[in-house]
Amino acid sequence: MSKTYKLFTINPGSTSTKIAMFENDQRVFATTVSHDAAKLKEFAEISDQFDYRKETILNALAEQNISLEGTDAFVGRGGGLVGLEGGTYPVNEILLHHARIGFTIKHPATLGSQLAHDFAGTYGGKAYVVNPPDVDELELVARVTGLAGVARESRGHPLNQKEIGHRYARSIGKNYEDLNLVISHIGGGVSVTAHKKGRMVDSNDVVNGDGPMAPTRAGSIPCKDIINMCFSGQYTKKQMMDFLTKNGGIVDHLGTSDMLEVIERIKNGDQYAALIYDALIYQIGKFIGAYAAALHGQVDAIILTGGIARDENLVARVTEMVSFIAPVKAMPGEFEMEALAAGALRVLRGQETPKEYTGVPVWSEFDR
């Protein structure tokens, strides 16, 4: 009989940490550990939260009589790393160092690799990160912009998108690496990505103001208007940056980021809410078309995922816009915990070769 692997996954967020135990691909335990927001504010740096988060996780496990003994792999969310290829990475010293200092970004996700490494040291097993937010597989031509000093980099939802790619491929009896897909993650941020034979070769930047607007993100905005806002004296730099990822998009137009509330307002006759909802759908469809063009129209499927993909009306209307390109499949929700376990499981089973984190980015600048 094939071996049953025990995998513990760790996904730290701003005020909570999602944890789950898997036996092979079957989830046997999952919970979200809440952290005291006031307590978190006491820590000067994100890595300073390590001991506190570890203690709350262990307490939650003890309450449920869950033991970490005999765990084969501890898998963290990852983050704070240089741009890297997608895949599963053992936590080595340089990866751990970059996570601790938040080498490229300060975010609680950087604690995932730190916790995985610590648990592996205590209980045995191996520590991994899988398709961290730092995955950057853009083709060189996709990096070029109209300014020599500005280049595009990949910032999206690689963990969930690649998991969706694997799941869709299995459902049709193929491998993810054999398909060309356009996958759109529709959630708090909206990413649309061209997946070419297992690589995310072009995608909108959900952090720096690119692509469709989203519930809390502005998306692509005419540059002239942004420049005028910056020099108007009405906004601070922080306020302008917050428009990109916190206070832009649906919430700026309608005062809410709750799409269920938006839909209810439309039912009650709010015509402006209907216009903004229509614009969200329009922009998602438009960018799907753009990334289909990046694949030269050779698209095996278009997949809609993320929490907002549960909206059947939105899915139907996006499908009406883009189904001329390829079949459209809705795979709503997020599968991040499953994706963490699946990546480590492929490595443990010898189905995928683990990658080595070198600390050298896959791309830094053009060779002029």
Condensed to tens digits (0 to 9), the pLDDT of residues 62-79 reads 999 999 999 999 999 999
Q: Which residue is associated with the tokens 């832009």? A: 248
In percent, the amount of the chain with pLDDT more than 90 equals 95
Does the pLDDT of residue 142 top 90, yes or no? yes
- pLDDT confidence bin for 2, thresholds 50/70/90: confident
CA distance 231 to 254: 25
- Domains of the chain (ranges, CATH numbers): 6-135+337-348 (3.30.420.40), 140-334 (3.30.420.40)
Q: For the beta carbon of residue 187, count every other beta carbon within 10 angstroms.
A: 21
Q: What is the tens place of the pLDDT at every residue in 157-203?
A: 999 999 999 999 999 999 999 999 999 999 999 999 999 999 999 99
Residue 105: predicted pLDDT: 86
Residue 269: predicted pLDDT: 98
Q: What is the tens place of the pLDDT at every residue in 103-121?
A: 998 889 999 999 999 999 9
Residue 176: predicted pLDDT: 97
Tokens of 31: 């919970």
Residue 368: predicted pLDDT: 82
Does the pLDDT of residue 48 top 60, yes or no? yes
Q: Is 228 helix (H, G, I), strand (E, B) or coil?
A: helix
Residue 184: predicted pLDDT: 98
DSSP strands (E only) in 229-344: 301-306, 328-332
- pLDDT confidence bin for 1, thresholds 50/70/90: low
Residue 245: predicted pLDDT: 87
Does the pLDDT of residue 49 top 80, yes or no? yes
Does the pLDDT of residue 356 top 80, yes or no? yes
Supply the angle between the helices 271-294 and 312-322 in degrees, to the nearest 10. 50
Average model confidence (pLDDT) for the chain?
96
Does the pLDDT of residue 24 top 70, yes or no? yes
Q: What is the DSSP string of 3-68?
A: PPPEEEEEEE-SSEEEEEEEETTEEEEEEEEE--HHHHTT-SSGGGGHHHHHHHHHHHHHHTT---
- pLDDT confidence bin for 259, thresholds 50/70/90: very high
Query: Is-above-0.85 flag for pTM?
Result: yes
Cβ–Cβ under 8 Å, residues 78 and 105: no
